[in-house]
Amino acid sequence: MSIADQERDDVLLRRASKGDEEAFTLLYRRHQAALYRFALRMSGNPWAAEEIVQDVFMTLMRDPRKYDAARGTLGGFLYGVTRNRVRKHLERLPREVPLEEKNADGTGSGIVLQDDATPGIQAEKRERIEQVWAAVLDLPAEFREAVRLLE
C-alpha cells in the first residue's frame, strides 16, 4: 500500500484547498470513477454524468468548507452532492412527448399522441371529477360522509 493510499480524504482535502495539486489529483482519482458510474446510472446520459462529476469536484474545490468531517466521510458527501446535481439535471430536462409512433424499422405510422396527459385528456378528467363531486354533494349526509372518508 502506497503512502497516497494511506492518506485520509479529509487530510487530502485540506491540502488541496491550500493549492496542493497532487492532493486534489489523488482525491479525484480516488472518487471520480465511482461518482461517474453513480451519475451515469441515475441520469442515463454519459455526457451529463461527466459534467455532473466535474461540477461536483469544482464545487468541492471552490468551497471545501461545505464538507464537515463530523457529519460523515468525504465519499458520502460527494455522493450526496452528485445525487443533488443529477436531480437538478433531470428537473431541467424538457418534458417532451413524441408525437409520432415509430415502428421497429424506423418508419412512422402517422401522428399519434402517446401520453395520456394531453391537455384534452386532462380537461376531460377535471370535468369528470367535478361531475362526481357534484353527485356526491347530492347524496344524503350519511352517504356523503362515507364517500368523503374515502378521499
Query: Could you tell me if 73 and 139 lie in one domain?
Result: no
Band the pLDDT of 109: cuts 50, 70, 90: low
Q: pLDDT-based confidence at 1, cuts 50/70/90? A: very low
What element of type H or E holds 46?
A: helix 46-62
If asked whether residues 85 and 126 sit together in one domain, one would say no
- Tens digit of pLDDT for each residue in 7-43? 788 788 888 888 888 988 899 999 999 999 999 998 8
Per-residue model confidence as pLDDT tens digits over 79-98: 999 999 999 998 888 765 55
C-alpha cell at 66: 461545505
Domain closes at, from 60, 92, 124 = 92
Question: Where does residue 63 fall: left (phi above 0), alpha (psi -120 to 50 degrees), or beta otherwise?
Answer: beta
Residues 88 and 29 in one domain: yes
List the CATH number of the domain containing 43.
1.10.1740.10
In a domain, 109, yes or no: no
Residue 124: domain span: 116-151
Amino acid at 78: L
* pLDDT tens column, 48-82: 999 999 999 998 888 888 888 788 888 889 999 99
